Structure 1
Amino acid sequence: MQRPHLVRWNLVCMEKRKGGLGVRNLALMNRALISKWNWHFANEREAFWKKVINQKYGVEEGDWCTRAVSERYGVGLWNAIRNKWLFFKNRLTYQVGNGRSVKFWKDKWYGDELLCESFPSLYSISLSKDAWVSDVWNPNRDGESWTPLFSRAVNDWEIAMVERFMLKIQAFRVQKEDDDRVVWTASKSGDFSVKSLYSILEPGEAVLFPCNGIWRVTAPPKVAFFAWEASWGKILTLEQVQRRGYFMANRCFLCLSKMETADHLLLHCVKTRVLWNLVFSLFGVAWVLPCTVKDTLLG
């Protein structure tokens, strides 16, 4: 007889801190590994393989990625890599060096937003919406400063906004000797990792789950696995059997009075409470058991 499947596969594939078993989803892992080549392309400026790719497909302004692949044959691999660029770019910021490869308005180089989104009114009257950071930076004899050019003089009611705009960028200085580089925002170091991208791609958000109380204790693996199942209420109780279409009376086989659920069987059954009270008395603990196994392990 085939044993029933108690836990959904997508839950099994979630990280342990999110309540899963940490089994890798191969489709998401493949997507993360493919995206890694976008990071290599953006950072390895002088690599020979990058020069070959540039020569074949051409490069977009800034030299961060190639142009979109349009040929039909023989380009499946790079096409798959290039198609991940827009998703990948949304997790990048730019560290400005000389400012020759970073768009002043359209790239995320100062703060958490694009300047064109933070100041849409000023962007709409900008003379050069595709200007590089180096184009707006003006080193002169009296000192270095920002000189964005607009198509008209600002109105009185726009002066406060212009002041906020200049205050936002005036503390930043372009470093002529350094090259621009990309920074991966999903890691503290700023360097790309497949693990961090996989975590972003993985569905589901971090939940309050007792992963430390299950996996980081001195207990046999089968005990830890049973505790994980019980935390999700997925042990094979009569309640679970009924959900799978079997018609039978649902009574706890210990007390014969309540419905047999995971929480009742392991916590609240009168027979089980005798065992809990014995444990509490041995350790001198006065404790009221929570409603669920998950809350008990969290406590």
Structure 2
Amino acid sequence: METLAPGLGCKIGSLPISYPGLPLGAPYKSTRVWDVVEERFKKRLSLWKRQYLSKGDRLTLVKSTLSSLPTYFIFLFLIPKRVCVRLEKIQRDFLWGGGTLENRPHLVSWKVICAAKKYGGLGIRSLAIFNKALLKKWLWRFANENESLWKQIISRKGIRPPFPALIIWSPWVPTRVSFFGWEAAWSRLLTIDRLKRNGWSIPNRYYLCKNGEETTYRLLLFCEKARMLWLLIFSFFGVQWVMHSSVRRNLLGWHGSFVGKKREKAWRAAPSA
């Protein structure tokens, strides 16, 4: 190793190391991971404490700079509660006193300050809530980035992608209809394009609309006649909907909370109708 490293232009080290700005090899729950963020906070504050800043100026700085410093970290890791308290204390001390070295009373609770202005707050971002929102974005990416390498690796480790079972196997829908929906969600309907892939030598033309080839998504979602039925359903429930090209993804978003409790059963059964 010592012989190869100089020739390859590499350095010999051991974990944990910092690259790029993140400690690799250290457990994310360790406070050592977050020491870098706290150091950035204090370094930035040391420059501002030399200047006279009004409370309005300090509010602007907290919102524009301090609140955005740890974004890269909290996009990747669940921030430990004790670290969140520590970082928000730095923000509170700076807002009310001008820096971490001054101990002045905090006149309004931090929970109120983090509320939106229309609710009496100052609109400062709560690190804990922002952290949860960023981490949940990974769930959205997991559902949509089918070709990404990271999703394929995680899927092979036993984490199954979500499936719209509650919509397909609705108790208000006949089983034979649910079975058809289950086949459609797996893209296993015997449409002409699928028969051709299985070796059938037949021309692929969509005879219902006489436009394009017969596929699952055209048959159920984007055929001219199918679209008219979907628009009729959406107009009946007063819903605006953007159709996805995948049957499964359309059904995954098909929850009924926004149509009211009285119409929720009908809304959940509508795709199978």
| TM-score range normalised by the length of the shorter chain | 0.3 to 0.5
> What TM-score do the two structures reach when normalised by structure 2?
0.34
Q: Looking at both structures, which has the greater relative contact order when contacts are Cα pairs under 8 Å and sequence separation is at least 6?
A: 1
- Indicate the structure with greater helix content: 2
> What TM-score do the two structures reach when normalised by structure 1?
0.31
| Greater Rg over alpha carbons, structure | 1
